[in-house]
Structure 1
Amino acid sequence: MGGDLYALDFDGILCDSCGESSLSALKAAKIRWSSLFDQVNLSTEEWIIDQMHILRPVVETGYENLLLVRLLLEIQIPSIRKSSVADGLSIQAILENWLQLKPVIMKEWNEERDALIDLFGKVRDEWIRNDFSGWIGANRFYPGVADALRFSSSEVYIVTTKQSRFAEALLRELAGVNIPSERIYGLGTGPKVEVLKQLQSMSQHDGLKLHFVEDRLATLKNVIKDPALDQWNLYLGRWGYNTEKEREEAGSIPRIRLLDLTDFSEKLK
């Protein structure tokens, strides 16, 4: 047998979607909390979008972008604050404490994950319907990735927390790559550790070397915790949505290899 199987994260490994996800989140936040935007001017919106690029490493699932938009709004405009954490909160503190902050603001704002996921998806669908080229143009594939995918001799699967229909559309329209929908495991297909177990258990993958490329250190650490996934080679993409501190920590973990974009494209080919 022999050969390689690559399970690839999408956002932050294949595609830089931060521009699109930030703009979609702002659109969705204006729908969800319309009254909060009464006193928001264009310069505040631009500031929010700028901060969203810095904060992108904390986002695991797209709906969290909406929470970040509102939290940034509460930081900027004290009169609309409903959360106990916004006062004096810095961007660095959000980067370092997002996992602790998220459940607090969800509770204080009385928000539900599924409702925010649904809204975020609908806003993207509407943007695609009304301005497909604008939606596509707000994303970009990292240099060399499209060709690497197109000419790869390995078995390639996409394992992402993005909704599958958006990943599939971007691969097809922006990268010119057709990956069968059954090879795209998107939001709702279960945690990534469970998807990796499914992939390694498929008989057609017997004898293949298994590689998982991800830009979130927390996700790789979850894989390491599960002995059933010991045969996966793990890589953290340096070019993705992670911080210098996370890259340093990854470098100290024997199981994880730090990967540069050029090396990734070569490996995939």
Structure 2
Amino acid sequence: MAGDLYALDFDGVLCDSCGESSLSALKAAKVRWPDLFRGVDVGVEEWIVDQMHILRPVVETGYENLLLVRLLLELQISSIRKSSVSDGLTIERILESWSALKPIIMMEWNEDRDSLIDLFGRVRDEWIENDLSGWVAANRFYPGVAEALKFSCSEIYIVTTKQKRFADVLLRELAGVTIPSDKIYGLGTGPKVEVLKQLQRRPDLQGLRFHFVEDRLATLKNVIRDPELDGWNLYLGRWGYNTEKERQEAEGIPRIGLLDLPDFSEKLK
């Protein structure tokens, strides 16, 4: 069997979902912490959503958006602060230190990862049920990506930390693309490193050239650390949720190729 297999991240590679994820996180945060949001005006909410666009590169899994929304609220309203990290905290420091800040606020707020994941999913489900067109419209596929997916001659798999049902809805409703369910690996299917191993071990995929396209440098570095995945061609999408500093770092890593959006669409075709 000859040809190419592309394992593609979803958010930040195929779809710009930052608008939807930020608004869903704000809705979910109001459900989770109603007392904190009582009396918060529209101006503060709009500021939070604006900052979420800047902070999107730090998010690995969707529930983290809720934590960021609450942390941003604490930055704006000192009287509700319950975390030791809030005083003097800046957007720049969150970008640089999110992996260190996250466990501290999770502990100090007494929050549970699985509960936040469940809540975030339920809020999205309710939005979809009540206003499918509005939910879909809060997302967008990057230019040229939908067409590239439709006409690709390669084997396409989606490997994402997004819940599978949401990726499937957006592919069908927004991109007009149907990808079989068994080719979408979403939240709960294990770390991306393990999914890539599953794919390369499958007898029916032997002989293919394996390619993995991500927008998170940390994820690509995890792949590089695992010798079992030495056969994968790795790419960082410049258009996705990463920073200039991360792109510069990636340029110095021989295993990683940096892709621009037109090059990515051309590769898929």
TM superposition score normalised by structure 2: 1.00
- The residue that corresponds to 2:197 in the other structure is 197
**Superposed CA offset, 1:197-233 (max 9, x none):** 0000011111100000000000000000000000000
Aligned mates of 2:107, 2:188 — CA distance in 1: 23
1:1-269 to 2 correspondence within 5 Å?
1-269=1-269
Aligned mates of 2:125, 2:159 — CA distance in 1: 21
Amino acid at match of 1:183: K
Q: Which runs of 4+ in 1 moved over 6 A?
A: none
For residue 67 of structure 1, report the CA deviation from its aligned partner. 0.1
Amino acid at match of 1:167: A
Aligned mates of 2:29, 2:95 — CA distance in 1: 20
The runs of 5 or more residues in structure 1 that have no matched partner are none
Aligned mates of 2:235, 2:246 — CA distance in 1: 13
Give aligned-pair identity as a percent: 79
Amino acid at match of 1:64: E
Aligned mates of 2:58, 2:11 — CA distance in 1: 12
Aligned mates of 1:128, 1:38 — CA distance in 2: 25
For residue 175 of structure 1, report the CA deviation from its aligned partner. 0.1
TM superposition score normalised by structure 1: 1.00
Amino acid at match of 2:60: E
Amino acid at match of 2:169: A
Work out the number of aligned pairs and report it: 269
CA-atom RMSD, angstroms?
A: 0.4
Aligned mates of 1:124, 1:185 — CA distance in 2: 19
Aligned mates of 1:66, 1:99 — CA distance in 2: 15
Amino acid at match of 1:98: W
Aligned mates of 2:164, 2:223 — CA distance in 1: 22
For residue 39 of structure 1, report the CA deviation from its aligned partner. 2.7
Aligned mates of 1:206, 1:256 — CA distance in 2: 23
Aligned mates of 2:113, 2:163 — CA distance in 1: 14
Q: Name the SS of the counterpart of 2:187 in structure 1.
A: coil
Q: Name the SS of the counterpart of 2:13 in structure 1.
A: coil
**Superposed CA offset, 1:67-91 (max 9, x none):** 0000000000000000000111000
For residue 52 of structure 1, report the CA deviation from its aligned partner. 0.1
Aligned mates of 1:102, 1:39 — CA distance in 2: 26
The runs of 5 or more residues in structure 2 that have no matched partner are none
